Chain A
Amino acid sequence: MSNNSLQITDLHAKVEGTEVEILKGLTLEIPKGEVHAIMGPNGSGKSTLSKVMAGNEEYEVTSGSVTMDGEDLLALEIDERSRAGFFLAFQYPHEIPGVSNANFLRAARQARLPKGEEIDAIAFYKEMYEKMDLLGIDRKFTGRSVNDGFSGGEKKRNEILQMMVLEPKYAVLDETDSGLDIDALKIVSEGVNAMRSPERGFLVITHYQRLLDYIIPDVVHVMADGRIVKTGGKDLALELEEKGYDWVTQELAPA
C-alpha cells in the first residue's frame, strides 16, 4: 500500500442486486504527480470504474481494494471521499435547478471547513473569478443554475472549474472530451494542465486519442472486459488509434 498514490488492487465490482460483474480484477496505480489515461472500447467498464471509485451505490464491490495515499477509499462515504481529496469529473454532469454555480461551489468549499468556521466570501469570490478567467467563463455564469440549460461544452468546463476550486489530490476525468468541439477541448485541457502538479494525480478516461494530444499522459492503460490488458507510454494511444479497438479485444483480451 503506497502512501503516495491512488492504488487499485484486484478490484471486482458488480451491478448492485445482480450477478453482472463489470470490473473483473482491475489493478492500477497512479503515483502523485502523474497523469494516467485509460482507453478502451465501449462497454469495457471505464465509466463503471470511475463510479465505483466515487462510491456510487449502483455498484457493489465484491473484492479488491482502492486506497488513496494509504487510506481505504472504499470504507468512506461518497462525500467523505470527496472531502478526503477524490474528485470525479462526470461524463454527464447533473443539473441542479435553482441553485446557482456560486452557491454550489461555496457550499462545497464550506463543507471542507471545520464546523462553526465560516468561509471568507470575498476571498472565495476572488479565487473563483480568477479560475473562471483561466477557463474563459463569463462572470454571469456564477448566477446561473448549476448545469441547467448548459451546452455540453459549458457543462464540461464547469466540471473543470469545480475541480480547480476544490483542489483534489486525485482527479478522475470520465470522458471529459465527449461532446466538446476543438476549441472547448483546448480550454478544458489547459485547465487540467494548469492543475498538473507533483502533489496531484490524474486518471483521464477517454474513448478517443484526440484528448491525449492536449493532455499528454505519462502512462496509457488499455482496458477491456473489466481489466487492464495493456500498459505503455503515450505512444500506446497512437498505436491504439491506428489499429483500432478490435486489436485490443481480439489480441490482448485473455481468452
Chain B
Amino acid sequence: MEAVSIDQSEGDFSYPEDYAHDAGTGLNEGTIDYISEIKKEADWIREFRKKALKVFNDKPMPTHWASEDLENIVFQNIRYYLSKGQTPSRNWDEVPDDVKETFERLGIPEKERKFLAGVEAQFDSEAAYSNVKIELEKEGVIFVNSTEGLREHPEIFRKWFGKVIPTGDNKFSALNSAVFSGGSFIYVPPGVKVKHPLQAYFRINAENFGQFERTLIIVDEGAEVTYMEGCTAPKFETATLHSAVVELVAMKDAKIQYITVQNWSNNVFNLVTKRGLAHENAEIRWIDCNIGSRLTMKYPGVIMKGRKARGEVISIALANDGQHQDTGAKMIHAADETTSNIVAKSISVGKGRSTYRGQVHIPKHLKGCKNNTECDALLINSSSRTDTYPAITVRGNQHATQHEASVSQVSEDQIFYMKQRGLSEGEAMSLSVNGFVNDLVREFPMEYSVELKRLIDMEMEDSVG
C-alpha cells in the first residue's frame, strides 16, 4: 500500500494574472497604507492595522510547540494584496470572465441555484460576487464582504470586530489584523431564522500570494444561521499562505452553525484562527473538515459566556503524503451550566501526519458545566503518524467531563475480507475510511456530505498502488 501524491485536480487550474491592484512583494507599513488607500478606509482601521503589524513583528513563531515547517514561510516573498479593482457584483454576468469561469468550474453558481440562500465568492484579495436572496434582505439580513461591512455598517461591525479574537491572540491573528481583506460580514436580526445556508467560497489564483480574509458573523437574539465555506487553490511550486480570522457572536438564544470544507492544494500554509462567543442559551457549532493544504493549524473555539450556552466542534482531518493536519478545538466555559462537545476524527495516509490539540477550560467558581471529548485517529500505513494533545483543565467538583481517545489501523485482515468480496484495494480502503468518519459526515448538509465522500474516495483510490 504505497501512498502517492494527492489529487486536488478539480481545483488545480489557474488563469493568467491580470490585476489592477498589487501591493507588491513583502510586508511593511507601506503595504498597509496601500491596502487602506485602495479600500478608502477610515483612519481607525488604518491605525488598527498598523498596531497589528507591530504585534506581528514582535511575536515569535510558535515553533516551541508547533511544527518547525512554519520556519519555511518567507514573509518577505509573499504578495499581500491583489485585486481587479472592482466592487463585487450581484450578477454572475458582470463578473470578469476568468473569475466567472473559475467559479463555474468549481460549480458555485449551480449550487447557489440549488440550495443556497446567499453566496460570496472571493478571488484572491477581494470578493468578485456577492448576493443574498431578496427575501432575506427584506428581513434585514446583511451578507457582504468585510470591506463593505466596515464601510456600510460600522456601528455593528466595530462593536464586535477584534473582540472575540484580539489582535495579539497569536502571531497569525496579528498578521491577519494587519493585512486583512475580503471575508464575510453577516448580521442576522433578532428572531430571523435563515433556513438555507449562506456560503462563501475562497479561491487563490495567484502564486506567492497570501489570502487574509476576515469574517465576522453576528446573530442577534433568537436568530439562526448556517454558514458554509469552501476553498481551493491551484498547485504551485512555491508556498502560498492563507491566514484567516473568523469571529462569531451568538446573542441570547441564537444558533450559529459554521461549516468548512478545506481543500487547499498541498502547497498552502493554512493558519487560521476561529472563535465564537456564545451568550446565554446560545449555541455555536463548528463543523470542520480539512482535506487539503501542506500545513493546517486550526483550533476552532467557543467561549461560553452566558448561562446554558453550548459549544461544539465536529472535526474531520485527512493527512496524506506531505501534509500535516494540526487541528483541534478550544472550549472555554465562562458561565454556569454550559455544555461543550468535541468529536474529532483524523486519518493519516502514507507519510501524512495528523495532530489533535484540544483545550477545555472549566474554572472553579462555576457549577454544572459539562464537556465531552472524543478523538479517534485512523492510521492507514505504518509510516503514517498521529499525535494527541488533549488539555482538559477542570477546577471544582460540580462538573461532568468525559474524554475518550483511540488510535486504530485499517487491518490487513479487514482489507482481505473486503477484497474477498470483490472490492479492489482502493475501493476497500475508501469504504473503510468512509466508515470511520461516517457518523461525522452525516452532520454535514447532504450536498456537502456527498462531496466529502467523493473527496475521500478520490484520496483513498489514489493512495494505493
Contacts and interface: CB of A to CB of B under 8 A. Distances in A.
Nearest to A103: B431
B427 A111 contact: yes
Contacts of A223: none
A166 B414 contact: no
A99 B431 contact: yes
Contacts of A162: 421
B422 interface: yes
Contacts of B417: 90, 93-94, 96
A66 to B, nearest CB: 15
Contacts of B411: 94
A94 B421 CA distance: 12
B423 interface: yes
Interface in A57-97: 57, 77-79, 81-83, 87-88, 90, 93-97
A107 B431 contact: yes
B437 interface: yes
Contacts of A98: 434-439
B427 A107 contact: yes
Interface string B291-313: 00000000000000000000000
**A55, A56, A79, A145: residue with the most chain B Cβ atoms closer than 10 Å:** A79
Contacts of A166: 421-422
Contacts of A57: 412, 416
B436 A104 contact: no
Interface residues of A, number: 29
B36 to A, nearest CB: 50
B420 A96 contact: no
Interface residues of B, number: 23
A112 interface: yes
B457 to A, nearest CB: 11
Q: Interface residues of A: mostly helix, strand, loop or mixed?
A: mixed
B336 to A, nearest CB: 36
A82 B427 contact: no
B424 interface: yes
Contact of B432 (A55, A93, A99, A108): A99
B414 A111 contact: no
Given A96-B414, A104-B431, A78 B436 contact: no
Interface of B: 411-414, 416-425, 427, 431-432, 434-439
26 contacts: A56-B416, A57-B412, A79-B422, A79-B425, A82-B419, A82-B421, A93-B417, A94-B413, A94-B417, A95-B414, A96-B414, A96-B418, A96-B435, A97-B435, A98-B435, A98-B436, A99-B431, A99-B434, A99-B435, A99-B438, A107-B431, A108-B422, A111-B423, A111-B424, A145-B435, A166-B422
Given A83-B422, A94-B414, 19 more contacts: A54-B416, A55-B419, A55-B420, A79-B423, A81-B420, A82-B420, A93-B417, A94-B411, A96-B431, A98-B434, A98-B436, A99-B434, A104-B418, A107-B423, A108-B421, A108-B422, A111-B427, A166-B421, A166-B422
